[in-house]
Amino acid sequence: MHPMIMSRSNTPDFIIRTIETADIDFLKTAMYHAIFIPPGSPPCPENIVDTPEISRYWRGWGRTGDIGVMAVNTGADAPVGAAWLRLWSGSNRGYGFISHDIPEMSVSVIPNMRGRGIGTTLIGDLLTRADDRFDAVSLSVDKVNPAISLYTGFGFVPWNRDGDSITMIRHSQ
C-alpha cells in the first residue's frame, strides 16, 4: 500500500507510513499518549510505559504479526500519531486479548494534534491492511472514553466488559 497524504484545512500535511523498527522511540511515546486519562485526573508518570503490562505493547516491535502505521507531519518531519496491531501468545496478553489469532489494536495521537482526523485516518489505513491478514481485530477501551464512538463507526462492537474496560471486536470487512 502506498503512503497516503492527508490534508486538512488550517492543518499541516501528513504522510501515513508503515511503522519500522527504527520508530521504537516514537512507539513508546505513542503508547504513553494512548493511555486514557479521565477528565480531571492527574497524568500517569511517564515511566508507566516501562511496566510489563504496558511495555508489551511497544517493546520488541517488528515481531511476527506486528502491523502499524504512523502519521508524520511533513512540515516538521515529526511523527504525531500511530495505530498498530500486535498478536499475543502464551501468557503474554494485552488488555483487549480475545485469542491468539486476533491482534489487538492500539491508537495514539499526541495531545496537541488531536481533533484533526489523524486518528481516524490511521485507524482506517490500519484496518484496511488488517482485513487482508486477519479475520478480526480487538481493542480495549475505558467505558467513559469518547473514542468508543469512533471505534463503533469502524464496526467495532462490545465483546466483553471487565470493570471500567470494554473489549471490542471488529470482524474483517
Q: 107: which 3 cell numbers?
A: 491508537
CB atoms inside a 10 Å sphere around CB 102: 21
Q: Which CATH number fits domain 4-171: 1.10.3720.10, 3.40.605.10, 3.40.630.30, 3.40.50.10490?
A: 3.40.630.30
Q: How confident is the model at residue 7 (pLDDT cuts 50, 70, 90)?
A: very low
Has residue 102 got a pLDDT over 90? yes
Q: 90: which 3 cell numbers?
A: 502464551
CA distance 84 to 62: 11
Q: How many helices, marked H, and strands, marked E, lie in the chain?
A: 4, 8
Check residue 165 and give its pLDDT: 94
Has residue 2 got a pLDDT over 80? no
Q: 145: which 3 cell numbers?
A: 472514553
pLDDT tens per residue across span 42-96: 999 999 999 999 999 999 999 999 999 999 998 888 999 999 999 998 888 999 9
Check residue 35 and give its pLDDT: 95
Give 3-state DSSP helix, strand, coil % of the chain, rounded to 5: 25, 30, 45
Has residue 12 got a pLDDT over 80? no
Higher pLDDT, 157 or 91: 157
In a 3-state reduction of DSSP, which class is residue 157?
A: strand
